[in-house]
Amino acid sequence: MHDAEQGRLLLALARRAIARALDPDGEPPPLAGPLPDWLMTRCATFVTLTKGGVLRGCIGTLEAHRPLLEDLEANARAAAFNDPRFPPLSAAELPAVRVEVSLLTPARPLDFRDEADLLARLRPGVDGVILEQGWHRATFLPQVWEQLPEPGEFLAHLKRKAGLSPDTPATGMRIAVYAVEKFREQPS
């Protein structure tokens, strides 16, 4: 678990990565002191950007394959400039954008008999869910439960995100769940 001070550092590093990409010749915002060693541990992250409370970009990794700092910075830049649902973030937008950083636990497979059993096993507000069927794959962070609190609706939207019909039976799908530790900038 990371404390509030570590969370503030993660948010500052994500924002700094975006600012540096917007102005590569500019002076990056200063950091207080040297970077701590825990930023070199492997960790999967997601960076979510919102503007006026509306999603503006969200990109991440599901498996810890590089150091936390590297994953965080790469996902911050990707959320700002490479989310295919949105145009690249402009420098003028950056002050109005709120950054959220999610640190993911390793995903674990969820065994289930059928769709009703799957829905009963999902923990609203707790589980991030990865759905895979063939080449179709999608995930929702646990935060998505805030907009889709009912498990059936949550799963239907996740199937749609994966490019499947909401009526596609869950039997034959691979489902994995994970938790997140999240840190969110407060509105100024």
Give CA separation, 177 vs 12, 15, 77, 140, in Å: 28, 28, 26, 10
Check pLDDT > 70 for residue 140. yes
Give CA separation, 74 vs 17, 19, 33, 36, 163, in Å: 8, 13, 22, 18, 25
Same fold for the domain at 4-104 and the one at 108-179? no
Percentage of the residues of the chain whose pLDDT score is greater than 70: 97
For position 4, what pLDDT does the model report? 87
Q: What is the pLDDT of residues 109-129, one digit of tens each?
A: 999 999 999 999 999 999 999
Mean pLDDT computed over 145-160? 97
Q: What is the pLDDT of residues 46-93, one digit of tens each?
A: 999 999 999 999 999 999 999 999 999 999 999 999 999 999 999 999
* Secondary structure class of 187 (helix, strand, coil): coil
Mean pLDDT computed over 3-16? 93
Question: What are the two backbone dihedrals, phi and then psi, of residue 20, each rounded to the nearest 5 degrees?
Answer: -65, -35
Q: What is the pTM of this model?
A: 0.91
The 3-state secondary structure of 99-126 reads EEEEEECCCEECCCCCHHHHHHHCCCCC
Domain spans in the chain, listed from the N-terminal domain onward:
4-104, 108-179
CATH code 3.30.1490.150 for 108-179: yes
- Provide the CATH number for the domain formed by 4-104 in this structure: 3.30.700.20
d(CA 149, CA 186): 23
Residue 27's pLDDT band (cuts 50, 70, 90)? confident
Q: Which residue has the higher pLDDT, 94 or 24?
A: 94
Residue 188's pLDDT band (cuts 50, 70, 90)? low
